[in-house]
Every structure is written in structure tokens, then in C-alpha cells.
Chain A
Amino acid sequence: MKRTREKHYLLLLTPLLLLVLLLAIYPLLFALGISFFNYRLTDPTQTRHFVGLANYLRAFHSPLVHTAVINTLLFVAGTVSLELLLGLGMALLLNHENKLIQLIRSWLVLPMALPALVVGLIWKALYNVDFGPLTYYLKHLGLNLGRGPLGESHLALPAVMLIDVWQWTPLAMLIFLAGLKSLPQEPYDAARVDGANSWQQFWHLTLPLLKPTWLILLLLRTMQGFKVFDTLYATTGGGPGTATTVLNYHIYTQGMVFFRMGYAAALANILLVLVGMLAIFYIILLERQRQ
């Protein structure tokens, strides 16, 4: 019985698996493998010299890579925690079904509907210290913004983190909402019978029951946080100095400005390992929860 069940589960999985195997294996292997070569994208002869671990060693010794990794971790930690907290709060607030709330939830999709590059450009305009709308009011409140939120080294990273939070918290909200709506009713009925108030219900029932949801959200937003690029490109270019240079931005510079695809791939694999370690951690939590 179980065998046929597992066969059927496999059948449900097969279409996607097939697509991934057909289309993604070559690019994945290429991306993993080219890191062991010296490969200039624009080389007319497209020669690739095998260099073993040289790219990785170069990365480990590069102070810029160290800075980039730290900035990346700060960025991801900050944005993911804020997005999850705010997203959960918003989901709880908007968990009623009436026309108005449904309308509000639809409006909240708008930040996500714009390309990240455009969002970056919009915020660069809003943050502009000389004629941006936001800073106009901040200056009138008496704040001295110096070179502006994007121009001051200590303000730049928080400023771009805010942009990411602005754009993607609605996604967290949506996914939390879906999670909330999938929760079973019985535990809540039982708790109410036992006299638990809404805060206790939230803390002891909702949060634990939502664990798969927020673990998956944690995982996916972490992965996307590591890949952030467009926003930074449109706002600070990784500056001022190296204040907002994250690993993926450095990868872009190496790959698309200097055309060192081998080194860029090595950096990408390092990023992959970093994300992978976090992912394994989250998945272990997820698996444990399943039991």
C-alpha cells in the first residue's frame, strides 16, 4: 500500500523534477565547475585554464570579500528579522475578511509589483538630500542629514535595508496570512474552553503552529537577501566606500565589469555555501517539527 502511495507521490513530483533536470543541470554544473578555472568572459578564444583552488584562495585573502560577507550578513539579518516581525504583525491585523481589508491587502501588493531596479531608483530619489520629498521633511524637522541617507557611510546600509523591508514585507504578510488560514480550529476551541486569552492563544498556539510557515519564510527570504543586487545597483553602487558592498554585488563587479567569470563563480559558490549552511540549519528545524 505504502509503496503505491510513494510511487504516486513520485509521479506528482516528476514534472517539476524533469524540468529542473533538463534545464538546470548544465547551468548548475557550469556555475559550480567554472570556479576552478581562469575564464575571461570576453576572451575571443574563450580559453579556460584550470587553476584548481586559486580563485577560492584569492577570495579568502581579499579584504573586500571579508567586508562584503559582513555586509551581507548584516543586511540579511536585519531585513529578514524586520520583514518577518512586521509581516506577522500585519497578517494578524489584516486577518479579517471584509471588502475593505481585502482591498487594503491588495494595495499592499503594489511595492512588490515594481522591478527592484525601479524601486531602487524611486528610493534614491526620495532619499535625495537636496530635493527628495522624504528628506525635505526630515530637514525641516531639524535633522542634519549631511550627505544624505545614501551618502553617509553609517546611514547607507540601514537606508538600503529599509528599501528591502519596504518592498518585501508584504510578501511575508501574504504568506503568514495563508499560514494563519490553514491553522486548524480545534486547538483554539479547546484553549478558549480552558480560559486562555488572546495573547496566550497567540504565544502558545499560533506561533508554534505557524512554525512551518515562518521557517519557510525565513529560509526563502534569507536566500533572497543573499542575492540582493538591483536595489544596491540603483542606489549606492556599493558605496559610499564599501559601506553597502555585499557579496553578490562584488560578484557582479568581478563577473560583468572585469569579466572574470571563474573568480565570480568561486565567489558565488562561497555565497552558496554560506546560504547553504543557514538553509541546512532551517531545514533541520523544519524536519524536527514534522515529527
Chain B
Amino acid sequence: MRMSKVQVLIQGMLVAAMLLFFLLPIYWLLSTAFKFGRDAFATPPQWFFFHYTLENFRQLWQNSGTPGYLRNSIIISGGVTALSLLLGVPAGYALARSQSRLIAASSHLFLLLLMLPPIAMLIPFYLLMRQLHLLGSYAGLILLDTLFDASFVAWLMRSTFAEMPPAMEEAALVDGASVWQVFRKIALPLAWPGLSAAAIYCLIFSWNDFLFALMLTSPRTKTLPLGIMASFSAVEISWGRMAAMSFIAVLPPFFVALFLNRTWQATISQRSSPNS
């Protein structure tokens, strides 16, 4: 549909306003990474023209264990995303298509998990992980994050699949295809946008989790959020260090989101249906 020039202009301005709102604080933080500590809060605020320095990044790489934190965050987030999708997406499909009461009941169990504030369950999880000898390991944190993220994915994918008219799947099932085949060959490809939203969600929530990471990691498996918060001492916050580390922390999610976004197709009509 062709839009008038006015409409394009208005839309452009809205997008610009949106970007300003969401990205200005990020820009402030990231520019602080290149400033000396004394300029972080200069008045008037220095947005573009300030004394640049790479000192914060140099210190980061040499002193603070950041390469290790980055590696750990990648391992954990990657593991959580993969495992959560593996567990949550089929579960979401089952929740969407099944008429069974038992299955509906289990969806309420997942919801219960998502509703309770984590602090009430923190100590029992800590003790449980200790029993399983998973304290301080990658597996422990991955499993715990997956517990919550996969539950969310199940609910999210449930609504995604529910939105898709079941006609094509019904036809295939009547033709003799198994549930698994219908899931893999018909439902899944059509649900790709929902899948990638779920993937981004898992990535984000495991990437910036602080509380569980604090409790379940050892110095060897520490993640980026813990490293960033260590800039917060009793006397001051090392803003340069915090900003530099945050800079590194936002890059991987950004690239993953970019990658996933590039794979989204224009509209459902451009996706060739299996029968056309």
C-alpha cells in the first residue's frame, strides 16, 4: 500500500523519537566508556567532544577478568537458549494443540514457577544445586535458567501456535502424517518469528541475570553481570570500568538480534505454503 509523503514523514519522526528515547541512555553509558572518570558527570554534559581514552578498555582486558566473564556468559546464555528452545517449543506446541486436561494442568505448573518471586526459592535452589554437586558449574546455572526460560518459551510458543490456523495441520494429520512430522514440517517453519522472539528472550534473560548467577557461579564460571557489579565498591562506582564492561556486554546480544532479525520474512503471504 502506498503511503503519502506526510505519512512517511510522520512515521519517520516517530521512529526517530523512539530511537532517541531508547538509545540515548545507552549512548551516554557507552560514551562514558571512552571518557576519563572525571568527565563522566561533567556539566554541561559532554556528548561528542571530550577527551577520548582507551584506558578503561585496556584496564578491562588486563586486570578484571573480563575475557573470562565474556566467555562464561556466552557459554551459559548459549546453553540456556539452546536448551530452553529444545524443551519449550515442543511443549508450547503441545499446549496449543492438545485438548487434554492433564496437559493444560502442567501449563499451570509452569506458570506457577514464573509467578513466584525468585527470592523465596533462592535458598532451596542453592541447597538443591549443592546436593547435585552442581554449584559453581556451568550446568547448574544453565539448568536453573532453563527451568524458567523454557517455561516462558512454552507459554509464548503456545500463543504463537494458537494464532496459526490449524487447517493445514489438520489436513496433514488426516492424510496420515504423524504429530511429530506436522510439528516439524508445517508448524515450526511458520512459527519462525515467534521462535526467534523466544530465542532473543532466552538469550536476554540468561545474559543479564544477576541473582542466580551470583548464587550459582564460582570465580571460574562468573558471568558478565557479576563483573559489572564489582565496579560498585563501598566508596564509589568506577563508571569508566562499568561503562566499558557494559559496552562489551551489549555487543553479543546485539549481533544475535541482528542475525535473527535478518532472517525474518516480510509477511506470511511471502512464505510459500507447502501446498501452493
| Chain A residues proximal to chain B, CB less than 8 Å | 5-6, 8-10, 12-13, 15-17, 19-20, 23-24, 26-28, 30-31, 41, 89-90, 93-94, 96-97, 102-118, 121-123, 125-126, 128, 131-133, 136, 166, 169-171, 174-175, 177-179, 181-185, 198, 209-210, 212-213, 215-216, 219-220, 223, 226-227, 229-230, 248, 251-252, 255-256, 261, 264-265, 268-269, 271-272, 275-276, 279, 283, 286, 290
B25 pairs with A182, CB closer than 8 A: no
9 interchain residue pairs of minimum CB distance:
A8-B179, A268-B120, A12-B90, A133-B45, A27-B124, A212-B159, A31-B120, A113-B253, A178-B193
**Cα distance A279–B151 in the bound complex, in angstroms:** 15
B98 pairs with A19, CB closer than 8 A: no
Given A20-B109, A181-B264, A185-B267: A9 in contact with B25 (beta carbons within 8 A) = no
Given A216-B159, A279-B111: A166 in contact with B268 (beta carbons within 8 A) = no
Q: Count the A-B residue pairs with Cβ separation under 8 angstroms: how many?
A: 291
**Cα distance A70–B194 in the bound complex, in angstroms:** 34
**Cα distance A220–B267 in the bound complex, in angstroms:** 26
B116 pairs with A268, CB closer than 8 A: yes
| Chain B residues within 8 Å of A6, by CB | 98-100, 103
Nearest residue, chain A, Cβ from B226 = A115
Of B42, B98, B151, B229, which contacts A118 at CB under 8 A? Answer: B229
B196 pairs with A178, CB closer than 8 A: yes
B116 pairs with A132, CB closer than 8 A: no
**Cα distance A183–B120 in the bound complex, in angstroms:** 39
A8 pairs with B178, CB closer than 8 A: yes
CB distance from B191 to the nearest CB of A (A): 7
B19 pairs with A184, CB closer than 8 A: no
Task: Give 15 A-B contacts (CB < 8 Å), ordered by A residue.
Answer: A8-B180, A13-B95, A13-B103, A20-B151, A97-B264, A105-B261, A107-B19, A108-B22, A115-B229, A117-B225, A122-B28, A170-B22, A212-B160, A265-B120, A276-B112
| Chain A residues within 8 Å of B175, by CB | none
CB distance from B207 to the nearest CB of A (A): 6
**Cα distance A36–B124 in the bound complex, in angstroms:** 16
A97 pairs with B265, CB closer than 8 A: yes
**Cα distance A108–B26 in the bound complex, in angstroms:** 10
CB distance from A282 to the nearest CB of B (A): 10
A110 pairs with B250, CB closer than 8 A: yes
Given A226-B117, A227-B118: A20 in contact with B147 (beta carbons within 8 A) = yes
Judged by DSSP, the binding face of A is: helix
**Cα distance A215–B160 in the bound complex, in angstroms:** 11
Given A27-B125, A136-B43: A121 in contact with B242 (beta carbons within 8 A) = yes
| Chain B residues proximal to chain A, CB less than 8 Å | 1, 11, 14-15, 18-19, 21-23, 25-26, 28-29, 41-45, 86-88, 90-91, 93-95, 97-100, 102-103, 106, 109-121, 123-125, 128, 143-144, 146-147, 150-152, 154-156, 158-160, 162-165, 173, 178-180, 183, 190-191, 193-194, 196-197, 200-201, 204, 207-210, 225, 228-229, 232, 237, 239, 242, 246, 249-250, 253-254, 257-258, 261-262, 264-269
B183 pairs with A12, CB closer than 8 A: yes
| Chain B residues within 8 Å of A265, by CB | 120
A272 pairs with B204, CB closer than 8 A: no
**Cα distance A115–B249 in the bound complex, in angstroms:** 9
Nearest residue, chain A, Cβ from B23 = A107
A251 pairs with B204, CB closer than 8 A: no
Of A106, A122, A182, A251, which contacts B160 at CB under 8 A? Answer: A182
A106 pairs with B119, CB closer than 8 A: no
**Cα distance A36–B249 in the bound complex, in angstroms:** 42
